[in-house]
Amino acid sequence: MYQALLTRAYLTSKVMPLLASLAVVLCTAMVLIVWSVMGGFLVKLMNSGRTLVGDVVISWPNTGFAHYDDLVDRLERDDLVAAATPVIETYGLLTLPSGRTEYVVVKGIEPVGYAAVTDYASSLWWRPLDTPMPKDKDRADERLDSANRQMMQTALDNGLSLTRRDPQTGARVPAIVMGIEIGDNYRRPSGVYVPLQTRKTGADGSVNYLSIRPITEGVVKLSVLPMDSKGNVLEVSSLSLAVANEFKTGMFEVDNRTVLAPLGVLQERLQMDEALRTDGGALGETQVGPDGRETFVEPAVVGTDPARVTAVFVRGKPNVPPGELRFRVAEVYTRFAADHAKEVPQAPTISVRPDGSREIIPFTGSIGIRTWEDLNATFINAVKKETGLVLFIFSFISLTAVFLVLAIFWSMVSEKTKDVGVLRSMGASRAGVATVWLCYGLAIGVVGSLLGGALAYAVVTNINPIHDWMGEALGLQIWDPRIYYFTEIPSHVEADKAVFVMAGGALSSVLGALIPALRAAFLHPVKALRFE
């Protein structure tokens, strides 16, 4: 009983221990904030994979593989697969209406199937909005304007179909969807995008500034490099396409480098569409007759080369782990490759270990079957290791709280030596005296950890507004999206991690009080009473 009474008395009468509690507050908050931001970066990186890729990717880059329709049909009949879609991935040059040329990643997609596998539909930026974004306090977003509602709805429909209506004929023509950071847009601090003005000089020397809105009047030129089925490079192919919409995933590198085009259009330009197979080559041959006259002989048609794609994206049903889905996809592809032997790349080997676990072993010539995490394993593992290293460093720094508690409690034991002598002379045991100081340290640690957790939660949940305020008031921009992938600072608070860190803060305070508690417990009662 006396331990609780003394702990309460010391807590309410002494100011010095509050410094120890403040140290626990700051150390706990520091570790939690770092863990939440680094963990949030990793979680957002992992989740963003489904935005434009899905769960599992079957890929044979550059030349592509055939009979993909059959593979998609087999996959979608499987119990673990929700949807699958063919995709072409290549590189190209994109010339914008302003004349600027960008090196981009081009994905050829079927919009309906692609939206079923990925979060493509929700990533389309230009759409009608009823509620402003959190930072758009002035409602400056033109998507909120009722006068633009029809235009925004048209842009959304165009993006979902990858077409745009020709203003002259009224017919729908193929169009592309660009990453929001590629186009001639300016992002305001509130997160609102507005079209950049283009400077036009007239024949008379006059200068006009025009805002080119891609979704209504933007036409871009896309140049790609075709290859035949054997990997031989052909001539560069270029085409002009209207802009249907723009997308935003939140990953700057994706939004600044990716273009989505209709699959059929890209197949045709890359010469990956269905074509007749001949015995004399695509150009035929010229023969010289007995009379010396040259005669052109058309090549004989001996078959058909099916259309090709470079990848098939697969999305699993809810609660199906990507790792498990990968094995199922590999099994489906193995049967598919056996039925189309020598026409498609070989399947990787599925090996069973002695413990019953399975492993997919690729080999030269086998197709790639990977989850999005596998595709970015090097980067993701680097982030995980960096997170662990940063947490170790900050946890090591947090040991200062232990030594601060030790120093303060050592001083308090010296100050309260007579109190210890009175307790011992009244029959208090050494364990009882030590418990007083350990309970005192625990109380300080619990209070400090709870306050540190509250401080960390307040900072993490408002970290982007705090960063914006620092930029406006102090001119500091710590988070540059061109460096850190994401346009905003990610954060992810996990309750179990928060409890772990706060428990560690309370334990560190008890650890710091341990040596002073032992010193107090082993003081001689008579010497303690005579202490001046």
Beta bridge partners of residue 94, listed in sequence order: 102, 222
- Low-confidence stretches of the chain (pLDDT < 70) are 1-17, 44-51, 197-212, 217, 228-231, 275-303, 356, 376-379, 413-430, 432-433, 472, 474-487, 520-532
Name the pTM for this structure. Answer: 0.73
Amino acid at 448: G
The whole-number pLDDT of residue 287 equals 61
If you ran DSSP here, which 8-state letter would residue 261 be given? E
The whole-number pLDDT of residue 325 equals 92
Per-position DSSP letters for 274-315, written without gaps between them:
-EEEESS-TT-EEEE-TTS-EEEEPPPEEEEEPPEESEEEEE
Q: What share of the chain is helix, strand, coil (3-state, %, to 5)?
A: 45, 25, 30
**Other residues' Cβ atoms within 10 Å of the Cβ of residue 324:** 12
Cα 432 versus chain centre, distance: 54
Assigned token pair, 488: 């905003």
The whole-number pLDDT of residue 79 equals 93
Distance of alpha carbon 45 from alpha carbon 51, whole angstroms: 10
Distance of alpha carbon 159 from alpha carbon 153, whole angstroms: 10
Residue 221 CB contacts under 8 Å (≥ 6 apart), including other chains = 94, 95, 238, 239, 240, 241
Cα 189-193-195 angle, rounded to 5 deg: 125
Distance of alpha carbon 277 from alpha carbon 411, whole angstroms: 92
- Please report which helix (H) or strand (E) contains residue 245, including its range: strand 237-247
Nearest 5°: phi and psi at 270? -90, 0
Distance of alpha carbon 54 from alpha carbon 113, whole angstroms: 11
List, for residues 438-485, the tens digit of each pLDDT value.
777 788 888 888 888 888 888 888 877 777 777 767 666 666 555 555
